[in-house]
Amino acid sequence: MAPMSRSPSLPAGPSQRMLRVGELIRRTLSEILAQGGLHDPELDGVSITVGEVRVTPDLKRATAYVLPLGGNNRESILAALRRNKPEIRHQIGREMTLKHVPDLKFEIDETFDRIEATRRMFSDERVRRDLEDAPE
Q: What is the pLDDT of residues 12-69, one digit of tens each?
A: 778 898 999 999 999 999 999 998 878 888 888 888 999 999 999 999 999 999 998 8
For 82, the domain range is 16-109
Q: Does 36 reside within a domain?
A: yes
The pTM assigned to this predicted structure is: 0.72
Q: Has residue 125 been placed in a domain?
A: no
50 falls within a domain: yes
In a domain? residue 68: yes
Reference 29, options 95, 74, 82; nearest CA is 95
Phi/psi region, residue 64 (left: phi>0; alpha: psi -120 to 50; beta: rest), is beta
In a domain, 132, yes or no: no
CA distances from 39 to 11, 43, 72, 92, 123 (A): 41, 8, 20, 15, 44
78 vs 50: CA distance, rounded Å: 12
Q: Give the number of residues written for the chain.
A: 136
In a domain, 35, yes or no: yes
Least confident of 14-28, 82-96, 101-115: 101-115
The answer to whether residue 121 is domain-embedded is no
CA distance 24 to 33: 14
CATH number of residue 85's parent domain: 3.30.300.20
Residue 66, in any domain of the structure: yes
Coil, strand, or helix at residue 53? strand
In the chain, how many domains are there? 1
What is the pLDDT confidence band of residue 10, given thresholds at 50, 70 and 90?
low
For the chain, how are helix, strand and coil distributed in percent, rounded to 5? 50, 15, 35
